[in-house]
Structure 1
């Protein structure tokens, strides 16, 4: 992150006012594309457009890839679709497809029509895939060589094709039908005897991903095998692209942000929070709040059933917020740990029962410890041992059920094919409020005769 960003912006504005464009270009050459993008985000639209246009198109493409959608939309309005299309021509096909995928269809088609035919064709092909699949994040700019050529011939091919490839750390080997049959590292290729056939030195056990594999699963594959890139194949094992580690990092960031939002009961755009419309914020938050409100009404009905007991022993009401609050916290903790375990692959079909038992046991132990503590406080405070017993026992039951629900709900969602992160904190907390109040009201009815 740039420490003196405002000073840099003021200096650029000064050069801009003086129309000293050479000085601006010279100044920006010292900074990385990510730093330039950070500077541009904090500038006014007109000034941002003028500075951006002074970048050479190669640098502008790298900067554009670092900007959020709100800032890119501003540049579109300032510089026009034709200029942005020229920059898109300089971007790698997967980055251009990712960017265009965020635009409305009409604008996307306009930009594609203004791009060079070859580049537009590659990008259009990528846009056909689901945006969250392997096909949606792969690039078609890779290096592949036939299996029946020599190492020397392969290096000649690399010299011609490598400048257009996104990465050449791995060289993929295909047969005459473009089916993936092997892989060889650049280092192995360089040190090999020039007359050696590629099929004699290539690695035949190739890890690949299917074009329709979910991007989160792709990230798990790359993480498991420590790849810098992974090949993407179609259903006939034909090589169609590669996914590089920088795209996988973006996936991990996006998926983590999405899970955090869903755990909080929201599904808003995370790339550009400031630019998110209020209508979108309302649309993403209201459904979960409606669920919470409905469950709150049900909890109110449960409390209504406790009306006579509360009227007879007012002290019962003192501990309701504590019981529901503690239960909600335990449930949220359990859900967070479970969702995280499912996301990282630490929890699978082989250890589901042990995970459920672990969370159940944790809930019981937490309930006993806190139950003894809060029960003792209730006894001393209200000078009523039975009240202390009811509150303590309710705490044990509430925290046990909360921990169990926190684990079971995400696991159930995963089993039926729903994103476990949808088991959000509002949903878990509100559900636990109902069960906690049911436990408390049942105990109060059972022991009301001893409280009076």
Structure 2
């Protein structure tokens, strides 16, 4: 059965159980579902039925469902619950997920929910909200277990028994000194098999991969990916352990960054896609226009510049009209090569595979690719132009122009994102319009210069 069909079937079953007031059956049915699936169901249910679901499921499951919701649905569901119900669920939620949601709420709503928490959780939430949401501090959780390096293994295991239920993960436990500075890491397996009277510092590993609390989340994701970590500790500038970032949060970061780059590269924003959920079409239209127009204007002026350059070759066009037949082909092929090179470069810069400070190798590689594909395509188009127009000189002009245009496109498509990265400009958002404009101008200039020199001056 298709996933969509299964989803619809479960949704119908849940609504039927609610309508028939079979509370026990409803509870049993929902408790067997994954929290992410229940969260997806919530979006489709009317408010009174959402409320009913949260009344019958366990506290723990309800908190996990809230972890999966976006800020709008989170607020909507909490508005249906009593203060006592809200307080209990918030206490059971993951702190890092709660921070992500609270950061998107209004100041008034955020304070209202924080005031429902106990003093310790409220303080942790306030601390996490201080950090930029795109940094390690913004995505870390303070729900972790650390061990002092000067205690015995026996005491360490007792400490874990007491504090592990509230921790995000305990597969790896981080070791600190008396000043809470990160000193080492130890696996749960190593703890279990060690002698009870041994000290933690005797068996811990001092080779620790960690990130700073102010590091960008993309850098954190690169480190976790590089070393295949399930979690990574976060320290402040003094080396004190402040939190951990788990693999599930890194997956969210990778998806968020990839989605953001794709929208930017297309000259729009992710918020525009989200606006399609808005009921008012006027809001959707206005926001879409606002997101797209700046980059379209950049491209528009690029087109005007291309037209200005083309007007200077009016005599060439009048004397040799056949050259106009190949203009779309040349600019189109140049655009394709430029887009391919810029896409690979922007992606490489995002993942760290391309270093903006050591970019000569990347530029040389893409130029070489441009030479190879340009040579092959130029020979093909030269033959087509010759047999179609029965003019060898036209074929030579088109062929050379094709090769030169594709080499130029590969070079520009690589150099522009690297330069933007060096200048502190996001290459994903700015590369596409500038590259397309530059390629149109250079392509037309190359083509008509060669046409003038070879066809009209011969």
Output the TM-score relative to the length of structure 1: 0.93
Number of the residue aligned with 2:405: 398
Correspondence for 1:323: 330
SS in 1 for 2:115: helix
SS in structure 2 at match of 1:114: coil
> Where in structure 2 are there 5+ consecutive unaligned residues?
none
The residue aligned with 1:369 is: 376
* Distance apart, 1:62 and its partner CA: 1.5
The answer for the alignment partner of 2:240 in structure 1 is: 238
Residue in 1 aligned with 2:77?
Answer: 75
Aligned to 2:435: 428
Tell me the secondary structure at the aligned position of residue 198 of structure 2. Answer: coil
* Structure 2 residue aligned with 1:99: 101
Note the C-alpha offset of 1:177: 0.9
Q: Residue in 2 aligned with 1:137? A: 139
Of 369-378 and 179-188, more deviation after overlay is shown by 369-378
Give the structure 1 partner of residue 30 of structure 2: 28
SS at structure 2 position matched to 1:183: strand
1:334 aligns with 2:341: yes
Which of structure 1's runs of 4+ aligned residues deviate more than 6 A?
none
Deviates more, 1:246-255 or 1:82-91: 82-91
Structure-to-structure mapping, 1:108-187, within 5 angstroms? 108-187=110-189
How many angstroms does 1:84 deviate by?
A: 5.0
Change (3 A) 1:364 1:194: same
Residue in 2 aligned with 1:253? Answer: 255
Moved more, 214-223 or 296-305: 296-305
Determine the structure 2 residue equivalent to 1:388.
395
1:227 lines up with 2:229 in the alignment: yes
Worse-matched range after superposition: 361-370 or 69-78 = 69-78
* 8 Å CA contact 1:2, 1:35 repeated in 2: no
Partner of 2:191: 189
Choose from 442, 450, 454 the match for 1:447. Answer: 454
For 2:87 and 2:266, the matched residues in 1 are separated by 38
Q: Distance in 1 between matches of 2:277 and 2:104?
A: 14
**CA spacing shift, 1:371–1:115, aligned 2, 3 Å:** same
Per-residue deviation, 1:256: 1.2
Stretch moving more, 158-167 or 109-118 = 109-118
Q: Secondary structure at the match of 1:39?
A: helix
Q: Secondary structure at the match of 2:57?
A: coil
SS in 2 for 1:432: helix
Rounded to whole Å, the distance in 2 between the matches of 1:158 and 1:192 is: 15
Distance in structure 2 (CA, Å) of the matches to 1:54 and 1:70: 22
Structure 1 position 83, deviation (Å): 5.3
1:290 to partner: Cα distance: 1.7
User: Hey, what does 1:419 align to over in structure 2?
Assistant: 426
Aligned match for 2:314, one of 296, 303, 307:
307
**8 Å contact from structure 2 (residues 231, 247) kept in 1:** yes
- Corresponding position of 2:365: 358
> Shift of residue 412 of structure 1?
1.2
Work out the CA distance in 1 between the residues paired with 2:54 and 2:272. 24
SS of 1:231 mapped into structure 2: strand
The 3-state SS of whatever aligns with 1:181 is: strand
> For residue 296 of structure 1, what is the aligned residue in structure 2?
303
CA separation in 2, counterparts of 1:49 and 1:282?
Answer: 38
Question: TM-score, structure 2 length as denominator?
Answer: 0.92
CA distance in 2, matches of 1:193, 1:199: 13
Change (3 A) 1:418 1:349: closer
- Given the superposition, is the C-alpha separation of residues 112 and 283 from structure 1 closer, same or farther in structure 2, using an over 3 Å criterion? farther
Quickly say closer, same or farther: Cα 1:309–1:78, change in 2 above 3 A.
Answer: farther
In 1, distance between residues paired with 2:223 and 2:272? 25
Q: Residue 183 of structure 2 aligns to a residue in which SS?
A: strand
Secondary structure in structure 2 of the residue aligned to 1:19: coil
1:81 deviates by 8.1
**What is the CA distance between 1:448 and its match in structure 2?**
4.4
Contact 2:356 2:419 in 1 (8 A): no
1:350 & 1:387 partners in 2: Cα distance? 42
Any conservation in 2 of the 1:143–1:172 contact (CA below 8 Å)? yes
Q: Tell me if structure 2 keeps the 8 A contact 1:268–1:284.
A: no
Structure 1 contact 94–138 (Cα < 8 Å) conserved: yes
Greater alpha carbon shift after TM alignment, 277-286 vs 404-413: 277-286
Post-superposition CA distance 1:297-356 (Å, at most 9, x none): 211212222222222222222111111111111001001111222222222268521211
Quote the Cα distance in structure 2 between the aligned partners of 1:435 and 1:271. 34
Distance 1:348 1:268 in 2: 26
8 Å CA contact 2:71–2:102 kept in 1: the answer is no
1:2 CA displacement: 5.5
* C-alpha contact 1:335 1:423 (8 A) present in aligned 2: no
Residue in structure 1 matching 2:43, options 35, 41, 44: 41
